[in-house]
Amino acid sequence: MKKPRGVLIAGNWKMNHGLSETNGFFDILSAQSKAALPKNAEGLLKSGALRALVIPTATSLQTARNRTEKNPFPLAIGAQNAHGEKSGAFTGEISGPMLQELNIRWVLIGHSERRQFFGETDSSVRKRCEGLLSQGFHVMLCVGETRAERERGETFKILERQLSGVFAEPEKGAATFLDGRLVLAYEPVWAIGTGLTATPEQAEEAHQMIRKWLWDHFGMDASGRTPILYGGSVTPQNIDSLLACANIDGGLVGGASLKPDSFLALLAAGAKALS
C-alpha cells in the first residue's frame, strides 16, 4: 500500500452544526456519496485503509452517531474534548463513560483553541489523554506552534515540549497506548482557520521530526504505526500535495469539513492517495 498507515480524514466541526444542520449534513452526505466518491473508496472505507471521522459539538453527538448507522459508508464520530476522570465535580465537562453510553470511541484532545482560549496546558492535556486512553478511547492529540514561535525558529522546540508534556511518565502514561489508538495531529496554530496552509515541505518536516521523536523515545514499531495528521486550512484543493508526503497520514479539517460535498471531496482525495 502506498500509505502504510492508511489515510484518516477527520472533520472538526468546532462550535458549528446544531441538530438540524447535523441532520442536513447527513442527508446530503448519504445522497451524494455514491456520485462523489471514486469506485475504490467503498472497499477502502470498509477495510479501514481509508477512515472517516466527524467531530461534532457535544449537543450534536448523539444525533450524528445515530445517523452513522444508516450512512452508506463507515464513519466514526468523535468528541471535541473530554475529561480524564470518569465522574466528579468538573462543571461543564464530559466524561469517557458518558461518551461510551453514546457509543463514541474517539476524542480530540489538546486542540490549539482549547489551549489558547480555555487554558489547557501540557499537563491537563496529558491527564485527559491518559484517562481516556486507559478507558479504551482512540485519542487524537493536537500539537503545533504559533506564528511567533515559528518566526523565532522554535517550531521543533515547541513540538518537543508538547510531546514531552504528554509522555512525561511513559511507564504509566500515553506511551503505553502507542498501539494505533493514539493519533497525533500536527496543527500549526498560524494555519488554523486562516487560509494559510503550511506548505507540504513545512508540514512534512514537522511530521518527520514528530516521527523521529516517537522513534527515539518509544522505538521503531510505535513510531511506524502512529498516524500523524496535518491540520490547518486543509481544503479539497490542497490536500493532494499534503497526502503525497510520506509522513502525512491524513487531515484534521475544520472549515472544509462542514459541507458534505467538501468532506466527500476530501475523502475522495484520501482514496486517490491510497490507489
Told to judge if 17 belongs to the known catalytic residues of this protein, a careful annotator would answer no
Q: Which is nearer to ligand PEP, 49 or 183 (CB)?
A: 183
Q: Which of 193, 219, 246, 275 binds ligand PEP (CB under 6 A)?
A: 193
Task: Answer for the pair 2, 44: CB distance below 8 angstroms, yes or no.
Answer: no
- The CA distance from 248 to 225, in Å, is 12
Told to judge if 187 belongs to the known catalytic residues of this protein, a careful annotator would answer yes
Residue written as grid cell 502504510: 4
CB of 53 to ligand PEP, least distance (A): 12
CB of 111 to ligand PEP, least distance (A): 6
CB of 220 to ligand PEP, least distance (A): 29
Grouping H, G, I as helix, E, B as strand and the rest as coil, residue 82 is coil
Residue written as grid cell 490507489: 275
Taking residue 184's Cβ as centre, other Cβ atoms within 10 Å add up to 26
Q: Which is nearer to ligand PEP, 6 or 255 (CB)?
A: 255
Task: State the virtual CA torsion across 30, 49, 214, 198 in degrees, nearest 10.
Answer: -50
Q: Which of 3, 6, 12, 226 binds ligand PEP (CB under 6 A)?
A: 12
Residue from 113, 187, 204, 207 carrying the catalytic annotation: 187
Query: What is the DSSP code (8-state) at residue 84?
Result: S
Contact between 232 and ligand PEP per CB under 6 A = yes
Q: Residue 238 corresponds to which cell in the numbers above?
A: 490542497
Q: 3-state DSSP: the chain helix, strand, coil percent, rounded to 5?
A: 50, 15, 35
- The CA distance from 74 to 43, in Å, is 10
Q: Which stretch binds ligand PEP (CB under 6 A): 122-130, 132-140, 162-170, 187-195?
A: 187-195
CB of 10 to ligand PEP, least distance (A): 8
Residue from 17, 83, 111, 138 carrying the catalytic annotation: 111
- The CA distance from 211 to 205, in Å, is 10
Query: What is the DSSP code (8-state) at residue 185?
Result: E
Contact between 204 and ligand PEP per CB under 6 A = no
Contact between 33 and ligand PEP per CB under 6 A = no
From residue 233 to residue 262, the character string flagging contacts with ligand PEP as x (rule: CB under 6 A) and all else as - is xx-----------------xxxxx------
Residues that bind ligand PEP (CB under 6 A): 12, 14, 187, 192-193, 231-234, 252-256
Catalytic residue IDs = 111, 187
